[in-house]
Structure 1
Amino acid sequence: MAALDLAFFHVPIQRKERTSKEELTVDYTDTELRARYRFGREGILFLSDLVRDRLTRQTNRNHALSVEQQTMVTLRFLASGSFLQVIGDLYDTLGLDKSTVSRVVDSVLDALCEKRNEFIQWPTNLNQTKAEFYEFAGFPNILGAIDGTHIRIKRPHHDEPSFINRKGYPSLNVQAVCDAKGRFTNINANWPGCCHDSHVFRTSQVCAHMERNGNWENGILLGDSGYPCRSFSMTHFLNPNEQHHRRYNRCHAVTRSIIERTFGRWKRCFHILHSEIRMDPKKVTKIVMVCGILHNICIQLNEPDVADELVNEDVENGNNYNGQQDGRGIREHIADTYFNRH
């Protein structure tokens, strides 16, 4: 693993012959690094190694930016949400102007986007995924929680009305699915803000996949009222009159809240998602995707020590349902079977 180059921290670095993993002598602690870059020393090295092949400069110039420096400039941009010029000013000892920072950020974003299929993946162990969701409130057969969130952008030069959302500002409508641990299993950031959640879902690869493979036996998604109630996607009862309908709604809300908490954690970590991103929508799409990748890597590298805990994969999943294969029929079956206390 290559060493982390922190030469622009205004702190002395012990110079010595390069080795495969040289010691770092930097005043910043891991806590201080995370406050600025959202990753500690090992995390920054991990990310740098991911993109090293794409970012290594084939030059003998003394002032060429190292892969670590390029990675950290980009992380600082995503973590702070500051303008590119401000990011350049932070590293004035390196002589970074706005154009240089822009090129660095573009290169790192492109390199990380190429890794998206490694870090944003649909669940493969379906029984474990269902069991982990079941632990929240006893809702069976869940593969993911789905929701949309708006990322504010500057007013685009072309087709501006399409990007104005129902709250009156330009945005991208980002649809995401997460698992019970808050990891993104799918992100779709290709639609302008005027598009309704149901349209984004209906035209998405997730919907196509669930139509082919998803059902009550194989697993379903949980969504709010902005999504259709289908055989593979459950919404809540709008006007629950029965007690078991109300229990279903409470359980639905508790389980689905994981996607809302994931969005909150995601945006707190990468402040650029909170502010207006003053870039072309296509570049904003790339930024959103990279922030999703980094979010999952954050979880991967900082996961609590629960690896040895056994997951109950014997949770009853209702495979014997033989009723109508439509959303409302299956929803009624779930409410009556799991939440009707006779």
Structure 2
Amino acid sequence: MVSISDLACFNLLRMNRATFDKLCYMLRDVGGLKPSKHMLIDEQVAIFLHILAHHVKNRVIQHNFGRSGETISRYFNLVLNGMMRLGNMLLKKPEPVPEDSNDDKWKWFKHCLGALDGTHVKMRVPSPDKARYRNRKGEITTNVLGVCSQDGYFIYVLPGWEGSAADGRVLRDAISRRNGLRVPQGQYYLVDARYTNCEGFLAPYRGQRYHLSEWREGRHPRNVREYFNMRHSSARNVIERCFGILKSRWAILRSPSFYPIRTYNRIIIACCLLHNLIHQEGDLLEDEVEELEVDVDRMDYPPIQNLDTSDEWATFRDNLANECSMLLLLIGLLHERVILSLVTL
């Protein structure tokens, strides 16, 4: 690839030059991508990224890169296959919040692994399948389950479910798969109110203020449950930010694509893997159901495999909410004592 500036590389491919070079090396050494007589690896990868970043049609790439439509299609799929082999390198291994955490957002949720949510990505499907893929807003979409760590890396991605599928149904499928989402006993993910509050998945209290927009303009929690919801929303917002960055960076996720369903599911996974690589490299220039096969670490205890409600988990949430509110009360009392001591001086 001809030497270009970081800014130009970002505008064309959505990553700086150093990150692009690293991706090419990874695709060569791990992804099995090889140069051909007529096209080097960096051009293959550049074509692939340009399509994802700008969602341009094959004929536009033919003009920009001076290649035939068949050549572009062939190398796009070769790079996509190579990206699927990078999953074990780029998907982050979950790490629970430690007991001594001092992170303002996560220290309240000891042993939490991160957050998860579903997002809808528009797509084109054959006419007979449109009813299944039509979501509650009337759009034709696939329901994608995304799981991320506390610092914004994707841990697990499951695309391909029809837009009409409920989030809870997608999550049940994810934890039941042989290489699916694993939640060790005693650990959990933060989820929103559309999911069941059950072992391994901590949901907020329903019927109470929750979203961050509801806490602006000086509004304060009125009770223990609202305070818990405020803390929960502040931490769980990390998955919303991940989805926002993902769709902002890759235009192919913002409008329906003509790729077959299976190929488009793989494209969604590839975009999540690229998100992790760019995040890992500190790229600061940015202000049919299928899953990625990943190795599952052996655990001392069996992972959680059901999503049924339980009194035990409801009590766990109540205790956590009370603990958070007590800490808030102690901080408030300590603050008042400091002020009083200063006044008496």
* Equivalent position to 1:226, from 194, 219, 224: 194
Q: Deviations over 1:122-151 (max 9, x none)?
A: 31x43459937x432643122111111011
Q: CA deviation at 1:31?
A: 1.3
Query: How many aligned positions are there?
Result: 287
Distance 1:266 1:129 in 2: 31
TM-fit CA distance, 1:192: 1.6
Instruction: Confirm whether residue 297 of structure 1 aligns to residue 273 of structure 2.
Output: no
Give me the whole-angstrom Cα distance separating, in 2, the residues matched to 1:103 and 1:235.
44
Pick closer, same or farther for the CA change 1:206–1:193 going to 2, 3 Å: same
Amino acid at match of 2:160: N
Q: 1:271 to 1:211 in 2, by over 3 A?
A: closer
TM-score in terms of structure 2 length? 0.76
- Aligned partner of 1:151 in structure 2 is 121
CA pair 192-175 structure 1, distance change in 2 beyond 3 A: same
CA distance change for structure 1 residues 78 and 198 in 2, over 3 Å: closer, same or farther?
same
Per mean C-alpha deviation after superposition, the further-off stretch among 82-91 and 269-278 is 82-91
The offset of 1:337, in angstroms, is: 1.5
Offset of 1:107 from its aligned partner? 0.5
Q: Give the aligned partner of residue 172 of structure 1.
A: 142
Match for residue 247 of structure 2 among 256, 259, 267: 267
1:79: how far off? Answer: 0.7
| Correspondence 1:41 to 2:14 | no
Q: Equivalent residues in 2 for 1:183-202 (5 A)?
A: 183-202=153-172
Change (3 A) 1:237 1:292: same
Indicate the residue corresponding to 2:173 in structure 1: 203
Residue 109 of structure 2 corresponds to residue 140 of structure 1: yes
Q: Please, which of 225, 228, 231 is the counterpart of residue 251 of structure 1?
A: 231
Residue 78 of structure 2: aligned partner? 107
Letter in 2 for 1:36: L
Q: Which residue identity is paired with 1:181?
A: D
- Kept in 2: contact 1:129–1:179 (CA 8 A): no
Counterpart of 1:166 in 2: which secondary structure? coil
Q: Distance in 1 between matches of 2:312 and 2:116?
A: 19
- Give the conservation status (yes or no) of the 8 Å contact 1:37–1:75: yes
Cα separation, 2, equivalents of 1:157 and 1:130: 54
Moved more, 253-262 or 41-50: 41-50
1:66 aligns with 2:37: no
Residues 213 and 79 from structure 1, CA distance in 2 versus in 1: closer, same or farther, beyond 3 angstroms?
same
Corresponding residue of 2:27? 51
1:231, distance to aligned residue in structure 2 (A): 2.1
1:323-338 to structure 2, matched below 5 A, reads 326-338=312-324
Contact 2:15–2:283, Cα closer than 8 Å, also in 1: no
Identity %: 23
Is contact 1:201–1:207 with CA below 8 Å preserved after alignment? Answer: no
| CA-CA distance at 1:176 after TM superposition | 0.6
The structure-2 alpha-carbon separation of the partners of 1:252 and 1:225, relative to structure 1 and needing over 3 Å to count, comes to: same
Q: Is the 8 A contact 2:148 2:155 kept in 1?
A: yes
* 1:270-321 alpha-carbon deviations (Å, 9 max, x no partner): 11111112211101110001001100000111168xxxxxxxxxxxxxxxxx
Query: What is the match of residue 119 of structure 1?
Result: 90
**C-alpha distance in 2 between matches for 1:199 and 1:174:** 12
Structure 2 vs 1, CA of residues 128 and 44 (structure 1 numbering), >3 Å: closer, same or farther? Answer: farther
Deviation at 1:121, TM superposition (A): 3.0
Q: Give yes or no for contact 1:172–1:189 (8 Å, CA) kept in 2.
A: yes
1:130 and 1:140 in contact (8 A); partners too: no
- 8 Å CA contact 2:197–2:314 kept in 1: the answer is yes
Q: Residue 22 of structure 1 aligns with which residue?
A: none
1:101 to 1:130, Cα distance in 2 relative to 1, 3 A: farther
Moved over 4 A (4+): 127-130, 206-212
CA distance in 2, matches of 1:169, 1:84: 25
* CA–CA distance in structure 2, aligned partners of residues 130 and 222 of structure 1: 19
Mark the CA change 1:129 to 1:160 in structure 2 (over 3 Å): closer, same or farther. Answer: farther
Q: 1:327 to 1:84 in 2, by over 3 A?
A: farther
For residues 211-256 of structure 1, what are the alpha-carbon distances to aligned partners after superposition, in whole Å with 9 as ceiling and x for unaligned? 76233xxx21111111110121111111249711110011111111
Identify which range, 80-89 or 189-198, moves more after superposition.
80-89
Question: Does the 8 A contact of 2:121 with 2:144 survive in 1?
Answer: yes
Q: Is the 8 A contact 1:222 1:252 kept in 2?
A: yes
- The whole-number CA distance in structure 1 between the counterparts of 2:208 and 2:317 is 12
RMSD after superposition: 2.5
Q: What is the distance in 2 between the residues matched to 1:273 and 1:174? A: 11
Aligned residues of 2:144 and 2:159 also touching (Cα < 8 A): yes
Name the CA shift for 1:231/1:210 in 2 (closer, same or farther; >3 Å): farther
Amino acid at match of 2:199: S
Counterpart contact for 2:105–2:234, Cα < 8 Å: yes
